[in-house]
Chain A
């Protein structure tokens, strides 16, 4: 069973602080990893993807991957109230066609 685990939260962070979201996955052979943001009642939107060990930065967002520990994280710097949403971690388990398995999501609230 291919699994993706996230702390469901809620995670509460003050405005301007760093929000840290974590995810673990079960299949050591997984090669690609994704973070999606989902506002209440809306569909998920892709924030970042990462394939290689280490950090990948895009604006206020940094994705971190450690394949040896089977661990992916997302850091949000200078958190804004508009960052309040559910963050979904996804792992590609497909051979050929992508097949993303999603975690349950972490609900993040940024307090002004």
Chain B
């Protein structure tokens, strides 16, 4: 069966520090991969998606970037975090038209 792993579960980082969040998927090949952010009291915002290795589409201009170095690995990064980057970061995957499966999420607090 397919599983998605996301870590860490929680993270507290100072303003201006770098960020790296990792997501891996098991049990499937060539998934579409997504990064969403859910700010406190707000809806899910699509940040990046990828349909294959090295293929990244950005939905929202910001100080975040994404990379897909392997078929089942998706990384979200920042060189310098802002206070506004705080939120619940969710990785998701899909291989067909039947919706996404989300990872357990990373709760990021920038202080």
**Chain A residues with a Cβ under 8 A of chain B:** 32, 34, 36, 42-46, 49, 88, 90, 92, 96-105
Residues of B within 8 A of A92 (CB): 97
Q: How large is the interface on B (under 10, 10 to 19, 20 to 34, 35 or more residues)?
A: 10 to 19
| B105 touching A98, Cβ below 8 Å | no
> If A44-B44, A101-B46, A104-B43 touch, does A96 touch B99 (CB 8 Å cutoff)?
no
A96 to chain B, nearest CB (A): 7
> If A34-B99, A46-B99 touch, does A100 touch B42 (CB 8 Å cutoff)?
no
Chain B 36-53: CB-based contact to A (< 8 A → 1; otherwise 0): 000000111010010100
**Chain B residues with a Cβ under 8 A of chain A:** 32, 42-44, 46, 49, 51, 59, 90, 94, 97-105
Residues of B within 8 A of A98 (CB): 32, 94, 97, 99-100
